[in-house]
Chain A
């Protein structure tokens, strides 16, 4: 190789590597790397690909469970056994940095990437969700961001043809500069039809299929591993461009080519492009590859070797094929009019060797590039931030109870965090595939039927990041518990989770403390609920230079299963005169509630009341009530407290409620506090005795709240208006700010 291409420690720094990492690379190669090789290390050792600052803690998460078919880190996504020979692959991933710069393409390619992670395993995606967080909605830049992100997700997901069935939307000023865009997908695969991201068999051909490779997204993974600054605009070429039509063709062709049985291994090309797929597949299969970069179909002339290797052009796959069966593979991609080009072959060297114009341009050992191999692993320092002790000083007595609680109710229903999200959800095709059971039957989690079986998967994304900021450990326990509660209320059985860990700069000890706390909380709660962590993604550096880090946001994507739809439980009140009960305990608690944060504008408070053991016990009671068919509806108490939970159950069918509060508890805490572990249920009057009997024998607290009315909202005989009035506000909050 040409000596003039040799690099220095300054080149390494410019590529985002540390001086000690440059030394380590020289040791691995026993020489100074050239620019192409150094580029390879810089992306593979970026936080995004190597998890170097998080893996020590991620390893502490519970990964085992009776239903796990592929554990965290083994494949592109976790794979869970649904029974009867059916598996579900599911995963969540962030696209925060690209979306901050170019919301439309940033969000769109996030959707494309997560779906490729699913179908590269042989699973056909059947449902998508997304979790979005923005700054103040009244801000013009926020409006631009949300419009672009939602249109990007919609245009990509709608054309791709997989329904978007649920998700989250949350606003807080901490996300002003750095919004969060987390995309989730779940797919179904028959046992024995999965494909692994591996490569072996000397002489087996290596194919690149799908779109051509362009100069987009180069160093995207490294870009995702930096703070956002005013210079970030210079990183615009690091944002990729999506083409959902190509993705749809690639989906069909990939699933068809797997059926031929000629595929040894397959991996999509997302972050860090060809080099990432080459190295991860080769390291897993303990083989090497020799690749001729001249063969890669490119969009531009004269691309440099590092550009071809690092390009994050979308809608591409790397496939290793059994030698002699090339024609079968070619025929499938010809049918779908997609590129399918052999670019190299498998070797026994465990090294990746690249040629360009007949000249060797890079020679690196595969294993040293990847997580679990030679990629660096760091222990980061962490330190409790000063705000944590301040939060604990909060006392409800310092907050004066408002005289007009109807004004609080009106404030909450007109707050974008509480109000209807239909401005967003109407832009997503939520019904294509005709399996979305929850279209006409609202539930606390999305329920999607698995065609050809009696089963359904039950999906939810949850994280109240205000709680996690207040107390990372308890806040993250709550995120897991809320996800399990939603799945349980819908009539499903929680099975496993995927996580998207959005945090600030890991080199800031106070930020890393939030990360460590969240991992501890997640471990504890996932162990309790027997929902192992199947994988996900870590997104650090979600902070700007002047506004500090975002709230620590470990988004939990939980998968539940329903063996048949007989346990499906809706969240809406159905009939006037039905009785309303609260399962769980009312508490004199308003900590970290939407009410405290936006009505009283008090930011310093601990996480709301939460007891993991009682929460778990309460879920078992709900399951029992569902099994005994005693419930008409079940809806968990979450953001906005009991009042909002009641209203959300009332609105779908234009019904109301008449309830009594508890004298032992402050009325504002009773109605708007967000103490955890509570579910509002409605029942037919004739089932009251059976319900009370079942609950009385359990350890779980419960109380009678009142009855379902024809539309009036009455609390201790105080008039809170009608459901019609409340709905009119609730349904139009986002429209009034964002326009039609």
Chain B
């Protein structure tokens, strides 16, 4: 499978996701520069974490207008697989490719720490192989990760099985304390209605290498590969 990782000025998790895809998952990866117009034949596009264009406006607000994003949006609208992690998720919401918005964390501070999340469905490329009963230890690192959508939208997300992950404690309970950024209903990740675009606030690429003594994120990458290769 050929992955394309988009690099915006200010991206800083690009090399981390490339490392996991290339070195740990053994996949082919191409780097897609924000000024380019060519997706280089990638089958699966990733928008990595970071602070694209400095994020001095709303996070992700400028990146979505970059030349490569016009191609990425077209690719996604044609059914191509697209994953946004952290700042990538913020760009996806700004571009309207996934529902909801990512507000300032409830405590108005940047938060970096291990969190736990549980997959809500196996019916997605991101979660097909994830044990729904297991609380995965996957870190967050963001200032604006407080997922919000209005009541009707949340109902719609539920009806369409679009909620992919929710924050929980180590034992798997959906508590307020485990919900670091104050996301509505502890939502950590969603997909679009067509199930080909995925947004995730936590960083699975930071929980995939044995070096870091935490590989809970591998289940997500294994899911992607199993569906893609099926």
Contact = CB atoms under 8 A, between A and B. Distances in A.
Interface of A: 151, 154-155, 158-161, 243-246, 248-249, 336-337, 422, 426-437, 439-441, 449, 451, 565, 740
Nearest to B107: A740
Contacts of A434: 16, 19-20, 205-206, 208-209, 212
Interface stretch (B38-46, B91-99, B111-119, B152-160): B111-119
Contacts of B106: 740
A337 B9 contact: yes
Given A245-B56, A440-B212, A430 B112 contact: yes
Nearest 4 pairs between A and B by C-beta? A161-B12, A245-B54, A159-B51, A440-B213
Interface in B1-58: 9-10, 12-13, 15-16, 19-20, 49-51, 53-56
B203 interface: yes
17 contacts: A154-B109, A159-B55, A161-B12, A244-B51, A245-B51, A246-B54, A248-B12, A249-B9, A422-B113, A426-B111, A428-B112, A431-B112, A432-B16, A432-B141, A434-B208, A435-B211, A440-B214
B65 interface: no
Interface string B192-224: 000000000001011011011110000000000
A464 to B, nearest CB: 27
B19 A245 contact: no
A151 B107 CA distance: 13
Interface in B100-136: 106-107, 109-114
Contacts of A441: 213
A376 B12 CA distance: 44
A230 B205 CA distance: 50
Contacts of A159: 10, 12, 50-51, 54-55
Given A158-B110, A159-B51, A432-B49, 20 more contacts: A151-B109, A154-B110, A159-B10, A161-B13, A244-B54, A245-B10, A245-B54, A248-B9, A429-B110, A429-B112, A432-B12, A432-B16, A434-B19, A434-B206, A435-B211, A440-B114, A449-B211, A451-B19, A565-B211, A740-B107
Contacts of A433: 15-16
Contacts of A245: 9-10, 51, 53-56
A563 to B, nearest CB: 15
B84 interface: no
Contacts of B214: 439-440
B212 A427 contact: no
A159 B59 CA distance: 12
B118 to A, nearest CB: 19
Contacts of B114: 439-440
Nearest to A435: B211
Contacts of B189: none
Contacts of B141: 158, 429, 431-432
B60 interface: no
Contact of B111 (A248, A337, A427, A432): A427
Contacts of B9: 245, 248-249, 336-337
A154 B111 CA distance: 10
Contacts of A336: 9
B7 to A, nearest CB: 10
A430 B20 CA distance: 18
B139 interface: yes
A738 to B, nearest CB: 10
A284 B15 CA distance: 36
Interface centre among B110, B113, B139, B211, by most chain A C-beta atoms within 10 angstroms, is B110
A565 B12 CA distance: 25
A244 B52 CA distance: 11
B46 to A, nearest CB: 15
B226 to A, nearest CB: 23
A246 B106 CA distance: 28
Nearest to B211: A449
Contacts of A427: 109-112
A216 B219 CA distance: 50
A740 to B, nearest CB: 4
Contacts of A430: 112
Contacts of A337: 9
Contacts of B211: 435, 437, 449, 565
B212 A155 contact: no
Contacts of A429: 110, 112, 141
Interface centre among B12, B20, B113, B211, by most chain A C-beta atoms within 10 angstroms, is B12
A5 to B, nearest CB: 40
Given A159-B54, A431-B139, A436 B212 contact: yes
Interface centre among B109, B111, B114, by most chain A C-beta atoms within 10 angstroms, is B109
A214 B53 CA distance: 21
B56 A155 contact: no
A248 B51 CA distance: 10
A437 B51 contact: no
Nearest to B19: A434
B212 A437 contact: yes
Contacts of B208: 434
Nearest to A158: B110
Contacts of A440: 114, 212-214
Given A161-B50, A431-B141, A434-B16, A439 B111 contact: no
Nearest to A456: B211
Contacts of B12: 159-161, 248, 432
A432 B139 CA distance: 10
Contact of A426 (B15, B112, B209): B112
A430 B213 CA distance: 15
Interface string B63-87: 0000000000000000000000000
A739 to B, nearest CB: 8
Contacts of B111: 426-427
A440 B114 CA distance: 9
A427 B112 CA distance: 6
A173 to B, nearest CB: 27
A723 B139 CA distance: 25
Contacts of A428: 110, 112
A243 B112 CA distance: 21
Contact of A439 (B19, B109, B212): B212
A732 to B, nearest CB: 12
